[in-house]
């Protein structure tokens, strides 16, 4: 299950990154985007994962249900690749799945 979820997130991040470039998605230094997400949307990081050797993704979520996926390169450049509303945490997802 964990591998499937990680694969799905990585694939989604790659797809949205290409789509995001086509529509002029916002990219900036990691610290700037984290500050923006915190101040403007009250979003905080709740999950992260490796996309590939030079990128990782983070999921930011607010108590109001807004969410953002941020992909960051090892050089510190980050891009918002997806965002939305109505985030819901599934029951029983506090623990990592058994290996």
pLDDT at residue 14 above 80?
no
**Nearest-angstrom CA–CA distance, 21 and 85:** 21
Give the closest residue to 73 by CA, choosing from 52, 59, 93, 88.
Answer: 52
Q: What is the pLDDT of residues 51-95, one digit of tens each?
A: 999 999 999 999 999 999 999 999 999 999 999 999 988 887 776
Q: At the top level of CATH, which class does the domain 2-84 belong to? A: alpha beta
pLDDT at residue 30 above 60?
yes
């Amino acid at each position: 299950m964990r591998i499937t979820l990680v694969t799905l997130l990585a694939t989604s991040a790659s797809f949205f990154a290409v789509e995001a470039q086509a529509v002029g998605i916002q990219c900036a230094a990691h610290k700037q985007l984290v500050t923006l997400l915190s101040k403007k949307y009250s979003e905080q990081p709740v999950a992260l994962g490796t996309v590939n050797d030079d990128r990782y993704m983070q999921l930011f979520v607010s108590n109001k249900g807004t969410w953002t996926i941020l992909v960051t390169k090892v050089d510190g450049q980050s891009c918002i690749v997806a965002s939305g509303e109505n985030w819901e945490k599934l029951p029983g997802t506090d623990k990592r799945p058994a290996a």
